[in-house]
Amino acid sequence: MANQIKRRIGEEIRRIAHTQDTVALVSGVVKSVQEGDGTCAVLLNMDDAEMTEGILLDITTGSVDGIHAIPAINSKVWLAEADEPGRWCMVKCDKIEKLYITAVDKIALNGNGFGGLVKVDALVSKLNAIEEAFNTHLSNYNTHTHPAPGGATTAPVVLDNGTIMPLTEASDIDNPKITHG
């Protein structure tokens, strides 16, 4: 069973990498990540336990579309030698520090039961306009007077719950760990 799984993984990696070359798989532990270069250093789980630098974080064909995982330090990884001898890339990791997902058309996270993600700055602007309109209306209501016949005026009825709404700020509704656009 284990040999069938290894053979199937090798076939899939060759298919993804568009190569019929032999595919080697090894495992190791991430010791450093160079996100800007798209590489990491891995201590291989082998008898000689050597550090291998310049491990590609993913196999790409020049496209920015796809899923790009940045492994956490000390995460366990599988590496494949798929393009050419000595050129290793990460194909699996057990702890992801960051995940970048880009697509041409649509990305769905956990279905779409919540609808889409929002443009926070645009939402804050619209909420602020509503809050300012409400605050202006409330202030005008609380300070208005009614002229009475004969010249006397009646005092306004002040709403008990008529506190001015603070304006929404992006930090009130933004999740900085999930960004888009």
Candidates 110, 116, 97; CA nearest to 34 is 97
% of residues, the chain, pLDDT over 90: 13
The hierarchical CATH code for the domain 2-102 is 2.40.50.320
Check pLDDT > 60 for residue 161. no
Half-sphere exposure of 149 (CA within 13 A, CB side): 0
Average pLDDT over residues 177-181: 71
pLDDT band at 144 (very low <50, low <70, confident <90, very high): confident
Higher pLDDT, 122 or 48: 122
pLDDT band at 96 (very low <50, low <70, confident <90, very high): very high
pLDDT band at 72 (very low <50, low <70, confident <90, very high): very high
Q: Give the torsion through C-alpha atoms of 23, 26, 32, 35, to 10 deg.
A: 30
Higher pLDDT, 77 or 86: 77
Average pLDDT over residues 144-164: 66
pLDDT band at 11 (very low <50, low <70, confident <90, very high): confident
CA distance 78 to 131: 52
CA distance 163 to 174: 25
pLDDT band at 82 (very low <50, low <70, confident <90, very high): low
Average pLDDT over residues 56-72: 72
CA distances from 10 to 2, 50, 89, 165, 181 (A): 12, 23, 13, 60, 35
For residue 169, what pLDDT is reported? 87
DSSP letter for each residue of 113-160: TT-----HHHHHHHHHHHHHHHHHHHHHHHH--EE-TTS-EEPP---T
CA distance 94 to 148: 76
Using the structure block, give the residue that is written with the tokens 């645009």. 122
CA distance 6 to 69: 22
Q: Whole-structure pTM over 0.95, yes or no? A: no
Average pLDDT over residues 4-33: 75
Strand-pairing partners, residue 101, are: 67
For residue 29, what pLDDT is reported? 93
For residue 73, what pLDDT is reported? 95
Domain boundaries, the chain: 2-102, 120-173
CA distances from 166 to 32, 131, 163, 171, 176 (A): 45, 8, 9, 13, 22
Distance of CA 121 to the CA centre of its chain: 17
pLDDT band at 145 (very low <50, low <70, confident <90, very high): confident
